[in-house]
Structure 1
Amino acid sequence: MQPEQEISMGSGFIISSDGYILTNDHVVDGAKKISVTLADHREFTAKLVGADATFDIAVLKIDAKGLPVVTIGNSNALKPGQWVLAIGSPFGFDHTVTAGIVSAVGRSLGLNDQRYTPFIQTDVPINRGNSGGPLFNMDGQVVGINSQIFSNTGGFMGVSFAIPIDVAMNAVQQIKTKGYVERGMIGVYLQPVSPNTAKGLGMSRVEGALVASVVPDSPAAKAGIKPGDVIVAYDGKTINSVYDLSPMVGLTPPGSIAKLTVIRFGKTLDFNVKVEQAPRGKHALASMEQAISGNGLGLTVQDLSAGQREQLNLKAGEGVQISTVSGPSRDAGLQSGD
């Protein structure tokens, strides 16, 4: 008895007249055969040129010439409140157009396998079958790829996410030329900055990304970055939260020099870091994180300054200050700044 074949459906769009098509990786992942139906009802068998699961991007190729193509826009110019349109095939209804506004840009979903994607959040109705379809601005330019929704029921609930077209086209170019996507890495494990952490580290406000640990011999380690540092800017771009840094680093070409601005013991310092290539694949990234995620107690500490020891009536060499807390230490009630 033959096992029943599963058929999945998604959307995509043509990015070159000679048959290159862009869609989501999760639309074609694991497919034995990929069929493409165009707006004029012609059907083609597509070849998978390459894909990147981290960006959720797949590049397909069909044997055709003179195809109509979309106009690529600038997703960096998008702002909350702007109107956008989505075109796709929700539930198999071809060429369905839905509209909404940009709710936020640079949104992180907090997912480890997609930390490098600064998503466009919209309220455009998106459902199954829309994945991989284009998100247009009001000038008819593609500014994103509709990727996923946030839902408790599996249906649309007013929150949908698109991959910025600038990120996608960078990945497309790398896939077409190298067959894979490379990302930058500086070798730090990060945590959010809480109000208690900011107070304990002598910061005037809650901002930045807290360095919980540093990979030995990594770019960050060589540059002088230390656990307890708070990264507040990357190449002049402000880091408002822990989720801002990874996309910036990931999109930096390996070999580039990036300037990190950090707060250490209440002082602002600048470091030049030579970005290296991150391990390829989800499992490689997960293994690296596991290796640097800290000790079993779930905390990192730093030495007290002379002024802090004097204020606490401690002798030289006595005491340390907790800079980051997680796991068992957090459960026990310890806090950053203790």
Structure 2
Amino acid sequence: MNAALLMFSLALPASAAQGSVARTLQDEFAALAKSAKPAVVNISTVREEQYLVQPNYYFGAPDDLFGQFYGQPTRPKVYTHRTGGVGSGFLFDPSGHVITNDHVVRDATEIKVTLTSPEGKEESLPGTVVGRDPNLDLAVVQVQAKRRFPFLRLADSDKVRVGEWAVAIGSPFSLEQTLTVGVVSAVRQSLSIEGRPYRNLIQTDAAINQGNSGGPLLNLDGEVIGVNTAIFSPSGASAGIGFAIASNEIKLALEYLLAGRQSPLGWLGVEAAPVDDLIMRRFNLPSADGVIVSAVMPGGPAQEAGLRRGDAIVALDGKPVQSPQDLVARITRIRPGTQVPLGIVRKGAAQTLSVRIGKRPDSQEPAQRPAPPEEEETNSAAALLTWEGAVFERSKGGIRVSSVEPSSPLFGTLKKGDLVRGVDGHEVASLEDIQSAVAAADLRRGMVFDVVRRGKALYLSVKL
């Protein structure tokens, strides 16, 4: 809204001014819809799955029946199962390239892209996948037609502010060209949705439903600030909590998607946990800022840089690290091969390491994870130690948690099968070690257990 319009609205009576502002905003939404909709597409897919069925004696084909009677092998039948899917997308250049979610086109054997002209006329064209990145849940589809297309521009999502208007356009429940309006509710650095990690998400209360996936989330200038990707909903319908992959993430990935490759993700090679007051005290940290390194992957960039288990990472490339999610989100955005400073605290002393960011492997090996302890028979009471409702016993791998009573203050922190390697900085290798360690501990002040759970190294803090 320009200054002249604002001054004019202030000069009007309150009700007239409110009506004028509302009509102006209404006109803004209508103009945005008119300009953006021709570049928003519906994507319908077909997936085919083939499977073999071995006919049995009673229900096989007649020739199979006689073949079995005379001892001849039966022929398996090949069946093809076809399923359909619907999603959204948008054109981002005049050449007919469409951005959508990877989960919209994954495993598709047929893709149909439907465009809608400004006059409302629909046109369906075949599409082919140019590039997919399952890690980012992004894909590029090429519309098969030789002409220029309307397209949407990508905004700078780093400038998005909470409270700004957000407009979603897509095909919820196959209802094409549906527009909904809301605001930017939050900007989230990372989030796990149905087990899939996402980074740099824009949260909105604009209604997003099934079929909106891959469609654009727009600002009032008609620029794309994100790709609508997921919703949080107990019912399966919009509950006012939708998420879009930020447009700057798309910009980083486009070079690789257009070349048919996945974008390389930066990788440090550590497992990290938040720092609380007990971790801060145990590791002699100046504050609860940063993250504590619970494991370092052998041969990874962190190990090569000299990072150790028990170090606290407090800064990356000169900027404070807020959480494990913040660390992961920022590392993945750094191009592999880049040398960056890593600020750490080790045994109370601040240091700076130089680390060369690696390329995240497709599958990561466990980070310095010992094998789970082998169980051994412990019928003797001498082989057991009970403390605060938790029972510890010897195993071939060390000291193992045998059980934890529900009434124990350790219940929910320690679990059956945990291998205890240390308590409050004291190494534990025998029942005598753990007996001495817990005798010196004070649950009212809190304590930190160093354990291995299902092969994963953890620092666990507990306090009464």
Category of TM-score, reference length = shorter chain:
0.7 to 0.9
Tell me, yes or no, if the aligned pair for 2:132 and 2:262 is still in contact at 8 Å. Answer: yes
Report deviation, 1:132. Answer: 0.3
> 1:199 maps to which residue?
281
Q: Distance in 1 between matches of 2:129 and 2:276?
A: 44
TM-score for the superposition, normalised by structure 1: 0.84
Alignment of 1:51-66 (within 5 A): 51-64=132-145, 65-66=147-148
- Aligned residue number for residue 214 of structure 2: 132
Q: Return the offset for 1:85.
A: 0.9
Q: Which residue does the alignment assign to 1:117?
A: 199
- The answer to whether the Cα contact below 8 Å between 1:101 and 1:123 also exists between their aligned partners in 2 is yes
1:7 corresponds, among 84, 96, 107, to 84
1:36 corresponding residue in structure 2: 113
Matched, 1:108 2:108: no
For residues 103 and 324 of structure 2, what CA distance do their matches in structure 1 show? 26
Residue identity matched to 1:30 = D
Cα distance change of structure 1 residues 244 and 143 upon mapping to structure 2, 3 Å threshold: same
Aligned to 2:243: 161
In structure 2, C-alpha distance between the alignment counterparts of 1:39 and 1:139, rounded to whole Å: 21
Tell me by how many angstroms 1:304 deviates.
6.0
Contact 1:110–1:243 under 8 Å retained in 2: no
Alignment partners' CA distance in 2, 1:232 and 1:201: 13
Contact 1:253–1:275 (8 Å) recurs in 2: yes
CA RMSD of aligned residues (A): 2.9
Q: Which runs of 5+ in 1 are unaligned?
A: 306-318
Give CA-to-partner distance per residue, 1:128-156, whole Å, 9 cap, x none. 01000001112221010000011222111
Contact 1:55 1:114 in 2 (8 A): no
Q: In the alignment, is the contact (CA less than 8 A) between 1:197 and 1:336 conserved in 2?
A: no
Cα pair distance change 1:132/1:157, threshold 3 Å: same
CA pair 37-240 structure 1, distance change in 2 beyond 3 A? same
Q: Does the 8 A contact of 2:204 with 2:242 survive in 1?
A: yes
Equivalent position SS for 1:8: strand
Deviates more, 1:191-200 or 1:27-36: 191-200
Q: Distance in 2 between matches of 1:106 and 1:277?
A: 23
- Counterparts in 2 of 1:274-285, with a 5 A limit? 274-280=356-362, 284-285=363-364
Letter of the 1:172 partner, please give it. L
Identical amino acids, percent of aligned pairs:
34
Quote the Cα distance in structure 1 between the aligned partners of 2:449 and 2:284: 11
- The answer for the alignment partner of 2:317 in structure 1 is 235
Structure 1 residues 76 and 127: CA distance shift in structure 2, 3 A: same
Q: TM-score, normalised by structure 2?
A: 0.62
Once the two structures are overlaid, the 10-residue window that deviates more, 230-239 or 271-280, is 230-239
Once the 2 structures are TM-superposed, how far is the Cα of residue 110 of structure 1 from its aligned partner? 3.3
Inter-partner Cα distance in structure 2 for 1:299 and 1:45 = 59
Bigger radius of gyration: 2
The one-letter code matched in structure 1 to 2:84 is I
- Cα 1:83–1:76 change in 2 (3 A) is same
2:307 equivalent to 1:181: no
**Conserved in 2, the CA contact under 8 Å of 1:239 and 1:245?**
yes
Task: Report which structure shows greater RCO (CA 8 Å, sep ≥6).
Answer: 1
For 1:300 and 1:106, the matched residues in 2 are separated by 35
Aligned residue for 1:309?
none
Q: Which amino acid aligns with 2:160?
A: L
Pick one of 288, 296, 303 that aligns with 1:221: 303
Q: Any stretches of 5+ residues in structure 2 without a counterpart? A: 1-77, 373-417, 427-439, 441-446
State the one-letter code of the partner of 1:59: V
Pairwise CA distance, 1:18: 0.8
CA distance in 2, matches of 1:302, 1:262: 23
Question: Relative to structure 1, is the Cα distance of residues 96 and 36 closer, same or farther in structure 2, using a 3 angstrom cutoff?
Answer: same
Higher strand share: 2
